[in-house]
A and B are shown apart, each in its own frame.
Chain A
């Protein structure tokens, strides 16, 4: 079973900033998107149990290679990094276009992606890729298991979960419930140094550079402002009984109880 894991290199959570051009500054330190790591872990477990390879696919600037190297140290077989200066400032449509082109060049039984990214918070790219590639789409997975010629997924529902089944190849978007990602071992880190990271340009994935990037984007950021600071919290340091009285009074004054 061969699995492609979509893994985005995102700015380290807490350090994100916008450049003066209102695009996310991607020059600083990056890390693998947390929600993608759960899928990588599941992909590693499935290929360890059933055989096959795990290929990482990422789109973004060269600074993302660091996150790929760590994911390779966790146990992925190889990585494909789509990197091209023309990509900068691409909107979600262009991202889908480019990843569709890359996946068309790859062979797989399953494509995995995380529920969303910490720098984008969209959660729509996986479904769009499935629709574009004609793959069954199984989302919000808390469990993923292979079946004969297919895949079975537990999809979170309001009451519990739905059991979804589809033939492979298929695209699965998963959640944290798949389990915590492993830490790279020292041996894994050593081995990752010699694992291949292939870099593909836009022409390699068959996408016209004029159709992506800031100038071709169908959406644009107009401005960014700092939200009004919250806080200036009122502190209560009384005994429990007195404190409770003050909380009730506070909630009552705001008509919350």
Chain B
């Protein structure tokens, strides 16, 4: 019988949205495979996190790490996971395509004998193992891959499935697990919060992106205001990040993040291949651009030709008016 694991992430003791998606995906795969699924939570505050993850999970295995533990998250999680994998020999281990997730997966690749398929944007079950879809070469192709013996780790991108609660809440089991093998120590000497950090884009349902066409930090403010009116997050192209108008955490594209919001509004973005890679699987793409020949026309659903300095403020006002109108009706 196949065993599918979802590896959770619990910053501040709360499972991320991606964790709940992985738990859902593991359950769906287990149903297709006639097997069982488990969400594995390793870290501090697992009891509370397990309670939040259980409704989405076949079962939850919670491994509490002593609060005195120092070191990056992946260095705490991976050696304990390696011990669990050695003991339980799961067939498929789903890991999120976040920075910590990729670090955990990489360390596990070094610590265990499991192979890996990366950058998954769809996972199905066929015969004796998972098949993994990945968007490759800037979205020109979708490849499907499998493990030669059906067993391995899969890195799954955010938004691959929608988190859904199970018919029954999964049972929670707490276990003590030591590290299979100690990793060389890396000390976290300090954690620095930077003022004015923008809302994270990975989990946003709506993203408003700014490109070179916004012209200045002033132009970016119009993008931010529209995002705020829509309840969305702000993204940017590399050119805008390089200009120092917004942090690297907001960069979308080949050297930034790959996102999949329900709505992406691209403002003054030409749509070069490097940016296209990061947004092309968005649900709906609206482009606002002065140049009707910009390559983004090839993958936008609605292309508004015009001056974003006129359109953005008017659009922000219209969205606000509509929202307050709806609020007044209810």
Task: Give A contacts to B, CB under 8 Å.
Answer: 13-14, 16-18, 22, 34-35, 91-93, 96, 115-116, 118-132, 134-140, 142, 152, 154-166, 170, 175-177, 180, 217-227, 230-231, 233-241, 243-248, 250-252, 254, 256-257
Contact = CB atoms under 8 A, between A and B. Distances in A.
A234 B303 CA distance: 6
B118 interface: yes
Interface of B: 11, 72, 74-75, 78, 99, 102-103, 105-107, 109-111, 115-119, 131, 134-149, 152, 155, 183-194, 197, 200, 206, 230, 238, 241-242, 248-249, 251, 254-256, 262-263, 273-274, 280, 283-287, 292, 297-307, 310-311, 314-315, 318-319, 322-323
A140 B99 contact: yes
- Which of A127, A134, A235 counts the most chain B CB atoms within 10 A? A127
A222 B145 CA distance: 5
B150 to A, nearest CB: 10
A226 to B, nearest CB: 6
Given A218-B152, A219-B146, A239-B306, 18 more contacts: A13-B273, A14-B138, A18-B137, A34-B254, A96-B110, A127-B103, A131-B109, A136-B186, A159-B191, A163-B190, A165-B187, A166-B185, A166-B187, A170-B184, A219-B145, A237-B306, A250-B286, A251-B263
Contacts of A246: 304
Contacts of A163: 188-192
Q: Helix, strand, loop or mixed for chain A's interface?
A: mixed
5 contacts: A124-B116, A159-B197, A163-B192, A166-B184, A176-B255
Contact of B318 (A158, A237, A244): A244
B229 to A, nearest CB: 9
A251 to B, nearest CB: 7
A162 B188 contact: yes
Nearest to B117: A219
Contacts of B206: 256
A119 B137 CA distance: 6
A224 B256 CA distance: 25
A252 B115 CA distance: 45
A227 B292 contact: no
B10 to A, nearest CB: 13
Contacts of A92: 109, 115-116, 118
A166 B298 CA distance: 47
B46 to A, nearest CB: 19
B301 A226 contact: no
Contact of A121 (B119, B274, B292, B322): B119
